[in-house]
Every structure is written in C-alpha cells, then in structure tokens.
Amino acid sequence: MRIAIAFIVSLIISVTADSQTCTTAGQTPSTAFPVCGTTTFQQTTVPICYTHDLFVPGCGSGSADYQDKNPFWYKFTCYTSGTLGFLITPNNLGDDYDWQLYDITGRNPDDVFTVNSIVVIGNWSGSYGLTGASASGVNYTQCASRPQDDEPRFSIMPQLQAGHTYLLLVSHYTDSQSGYALSFGGGTAVITDPSIPGFRTVEANCGGDVIRLGLRKKIKCSSIASNGSDFFITPAVANATASTGLGCNAGFDSDSLLIQLDQFLPPGTYTLHIKNGTDGNTLLDYCDKPVPTTETISFTVLPKIPTPLDSIAPPTCAPRVLRLIFSKPMLCSSIAPNGSDFIINGSYPVSVSSAGGNCAGTPATTKEILVNLSSSLQRQGTFTVTVQTGTDGNTILNECGEETPAGSSIDFSVMDTVNADFTYNITYGCSQDMINFFQVGNNGINKWKWNLDDNLSSTQQNPVGSYSVFNTKNIQCIVTNGFCSDTSRQSILLENFLKADFTVPEDNCPREPVPLTNTSIGKISQLNWSFGDGGSGIGPAPVHVYSTPNGATIYTITLTVLDDFGCQQSISKKIKVYPSCIIAVPNGFTPNSDGHNDFLYPLNAVKAQNLEFYVYNRWGQLMFHTTNWKTGWDGRLSGQPQPAGTYVWMLRFVERDTQKKVFLKGTTILVR
C-alpha cells in the first residue's frame, strides 16, 4: 500500500483489506510460487489481504508508507548471470500493480520484511496497466504517484548473479480479483534450471511397505499422482498405492516423496522405476521437464534387526548437548524424556538430564537423539555414552519396533575450555611507548591471534607493541587449543600524550599584560615561557608586559612544557606590539602605491570589537566599508581611482576593556 494525498479515499476503502492476514499459498515469502523463465505464469485471482509494511529504497518518510498489499510472491534461482526482464500484464488494464525484487541468497525468506539491504529494485508507480523490468526502464525505484502523473511503470532490468536466489513480490494496489499474467524475457540472465529431474536416494522403511524417495531437484507437487501410479518396483512383489510429497500440504514443490505399497516387501534387493501415471506424466520440475521414464534406483530391504548407536556428532567446546546419530529412524515415543536411556562414564562424573529427538512423520521418528547434560563439559576428558534400559522399560526402538541392545556405546572426547585473558606492562618513552603483553597459555592453547591496534597484529603468545601515537589502544586477543576458543578485549590508555599549546591575541598594546592562556595537554609538571624580548616566565599563566616600541614590533613567544615522564615539547607563536592603542584615523593619505600612506584605515584599533569603518565622498556616496581595521581604502571605487579632495569617514566599535560603544566621525584628504 502507498500513502499519497490523492489516494485518501482509496486508503479508507482498503482498510478492510489491510486487516486481513494473507493465508493463501503464494501470498507469503515462505510459500512463494516457484517459477520457470520459459513459461507465462497466469494468476487468475488475487485474494485481498496484507501482512507487513515494506521498505522501498528512496521512497517514503518511513517503512509504513508501503505494504505488501494483496501480494503474490515468486521465487527463482539464477543459473547464468545477466539481466532480468519480465512483464506483468493485468487482465484488466485499469488495475495498478507494483513489484519489488529481493536477493535472499542464504537467507530466511521473511528477511524481506526486516533487512533493507536485500532489495534489488522495484516499481511502485501509481499508473495503471503494464509494468515490469525492461531495457528502456528507469534506473531507480519509481515511488508512489497519482495515476494522472503518468510516472514510469517500467524499471531498468536488474543484474542477477549466478547461484543467487531471488524473490519477486507482485503487489496489487487495486482491490479487485481480475488477476494478471507474469512472463519473463528480454534479459540475458538464465533462471531456467538446465538440469533434468531424477532420483537421488531411496530407502525402504523397516517394514518394507513404504519407500522414501529423494530427488535431485524439486518437482511440482501438482505433478505427483496421489494414487502412486507414477511408480512400480521390480521384482513386482508389491504395487504402489499412494504417493505424497513432503511439504506439499503447505507449498508448491518437494524433493522428497513417500510411496506407499500394498504389502510388505520381504528382505531383498529391489529396483524402483518411474512411468507416466494416471495424470499423464511422471514427475515435472518448474519448467515441466519430466523425470525420464528410464530413471531407476535400487534399494535393499533388510531383515528386521535392532539399530545400534551409529555415531556421535563431534562435540563442540564445553558441550551440554550430545547428538547421537542412528542409521535408521528411531521411534520418538521410545525415548525416555528424562534421558534414562543413556548413561555416560569417563574421566569425571557426567549426569544426563533429558533426551529427545528431532521428530517428524507418523509415527514420529528421528535419526538424531539429543542427550542433554546437567552441566557442560568444560574440562578435558574421554567418555563413553552407553544405551541402557530407561525408566520407560526399554532402551530405544527403531521404526520396526526392534529394540537397540543395552550396552550399545560410542566413545567421545572433549578438551579444556580456554581463557584469553591477558596482562601487560607499559614502558613509556618520549617518542615511542612499548607495551609487553602476556598470555598464560593454559589448557593446551596452541594458537594466538592479537589485534594490537594501530594496524599492528601478532600470532605470538607474548607479543610487544610499539606505539608512536599516544592515546587509548583497543587490544583484542583470541586463543584456541583446536577445540575451544576464547576472546578477550582491553582498552589501554597511554598517558604520556603531550602537546604544547597556548592562545594569545595577535595584536597587543604596550605596557599592558599580554593575555596568555595555556592549552597544553598531558601530565604536565612544568611550563617555561620565553617572550622574545629577553623576558621569561614559568607556570600556566605568567604575566608579561612589553615596553613601548618605536613602531609596531613582532615578538616570538615560545612555550616549553615538561611532563611527569621526563618528556618535553615546545611551540612558538608570533605577536605584534603596537606603540599605542589609541585609535586614530589619519587626516590624509596618498594612494600612489609607493608603500607609504597608501591606505586609509583606523590605526591601533587593537581593542576595538565589532568594528565598522565607512568612507563617503562629499555627496554622501559610500566609497568603502570594512569590519577589519587592518583593511583600508585604496582610494578607488569599483576599481576606478577617485579624485583628490576631502572625504568623510565614520567609525563604530565597542571598547574591549570597558565594553563601551564608541562612534567617531571625521574627514581626511585624499592627495594625488
């Protein structure tokens, strides 16, 4: 949904639609339609609903400005990189359709509602009719607009990357059931899977009356003959009576099927074949490519025997859960919830607190049982997990009801947890500091990875960092013993940062204290001043008075600071001392560029604040204006020399010491 003033009436009408959550398959990202790049997808109806607000790049003041209104989602994979072109053709050309493309590679489909960076491009024009991506489209996402604005309805074809998975949202802004056609073409990307569907794995349940078939790629659920007529086995000792795709009750595709037989298969080796079922086909992928009728796969039905404990998933650091693996599905109902089916012996006592499986199907089975421990295993040790009769009166049973013998066991080991904490000491220097780092390396630590800041790193156990910039260093140490790892961080302040600095006015008066302000930084123990006239001082705020010079004189003030670490730094600044600070404007000047009296300006205006200086001719025309007392009039107006004669000047300022406002007026003679 797009919010715009011209659409207020439409928004009021659509409140009912917005309140309905989308439940139809295909109207949420997780149930998106799988599409093929070679066929036209016909959507005959668009159920009215809404689930989430959307982020549209460059559009709207907030996320709630756009919504997945009356949506359908389509998913596809790119097999050859290139551009994607597609066309959305409304069955009623007066309908308004919008769209947005997302790259969800390696992500949960619902990330489209929370991760802004995965948006590729879209088009949310308010104009009616055809829309999509084309070579002539705009290279940005068109935002919401009024129908009469006739904004671009096509965006540029986006660039797809091979191996990436995409979701295309088609949002129906118009509340109607007219539907549309979605077709792909015009781009260079290939979104049609070139591989042929076929068998990948097969196994029979322990009773031999159900075959579990895994496929090399997903096929359309609608292509599965529910009566099992797509399949037959040789030797022909049983017939397929039903076939279902796992996940088909909530989606459109599946790569795992259950084939029900009319009787149990005796132990032996069999071959599963495929044929055209009563629906006229075998199994079809998104692009209607069939599993070839020549496809076969063999499987073995074993005698009913107990299923031993097969293996254990490699424990992680400080495990509190053990994952026990079985070669056949085990009945979840046979697992004692309190974990009493298992006992653990080893280097130190370990207690089992509970157990359960990743259960699925009817009856519920699992090939993985999770054994939960009362506490994590943080110390090195070797252990044995053993199956025993639980408090439910049995060990664990496979799907055929055969009990795993008590005593079935498997060994595993863990290593110590590690601690990355470290210590350090600092050796201070005036130009360079050295920090020695120490990490104890207990519990079998054999690898260190240090980030020592300032682009320094190390893999040593006890590295040394050398620093010429004195500030806070953020140090990180990562350690591992090949089984467990740990990270430790510390911030270390190098306190010997030293910077000499001070402030002083550029212009100063004679026989008055020069206002000096020390702004040096560091652990300062001493400040020494040299004033450039033979005088000196110490401390943060020395008082120094310059005698009256014959003319404006420049002096160099130098500050040298020493710190607690025996380091020092100096800084020098120049000042000017004037013979007088009495403000005066000359009664004449000669702008002839000879270097003498070439400019007219207030003299000695050291203490004048907020100064303004004006010069007028005898007719009251403004010749010159400045707020900088050191910038004078050169006797010109707009670059043209003005005639010799008398000119009027006016001067305004605030006296620095008294804050008194002063206004002066007078005349001067321009001499040519």
User: 558 and 598 share a domain?
Assistant: no
Q: Which of 522, 554, 577 is the last residue of a domain?
A: 577
Tokens linked to 46: 């668009």
Query: How many whole angstroms separate alpha carbon 400 and alpha carbon 208?
Result: 10
- Nearest Cα residue to 123 out of 134, 107, 111, 113: 134
Residues in the chain: 672
**632 & 608 share domain:** yes
CA distance 361 to 210: 12
Is 331 a domain residue? yes
Cα angle for residues 246, 250, 254 (degrees, 5° grid) = 35
Mean pLDDT of the chain: 92
Output phi, psi for 12, to 5 deg: -65, -40
Largest CA distance in the chain: 129
- Model pTM greater than 0.75? no
One-letter amino acid of 622: L
What is the percent of the chain where pLDDT is above 90?
Answer: 83
- Residue 403's contacts (CB-CB under 8 Å, 6 or more residues apart) are 306, 334, 394, 395, 396, 397
User: How, if at all, do strands 154-156 and 165-172 pair?
Assistant: unpaired
Q: How far is CA 64 from CA 23, 165, 186, 229, in A?
A: 21, 26, 33, 50
| Domain region containing 267 | 199-301
What are the pLDDT digits (tens) for 266-276? 999 999 999 99
Residues 562-579, mean pLDDT to the nearest whole number: 95
Last residue of a domain, one of 493, 518, 537: 493
Higher-confidence position of 632 and 59? 632
Model confidence band, residue 592 (pLDDT cutoffs 50, 70, 90): very high
Same-domain status, 443 and 533: no
pLDDT for the residue numbered 148? 67
533 and 476, same domain (yes or no): no
Q: Select the more confidently predicted residue: 52 or 424.
A: 424
- The reply to whether 664 falls in a domain is yes
Residue 198 has pLDDT above 90, yes or no: yes
Type of residue numbered 366: T
Give the CATH number for residue 450. 2.60.40.10
Q: How many domains does the chain have?
A: 6
How many alpha carbons fall within 13 Å on the CB side of residue 138?
A: 13
- Show Cβ contacts of residue 660 under 8 Å, excluding neighbours closer than 6 positions: 654
**Pick from 301, 336, 367: which residue ends a domain?**
301
pLDDT category of residue 137 using cuts at 50, 70 and 90: very high
Residue with tokens 């519990």: 443
Same domain, 139 and 75: yes
Report the pLDDT averaged over residues 437-441: 97
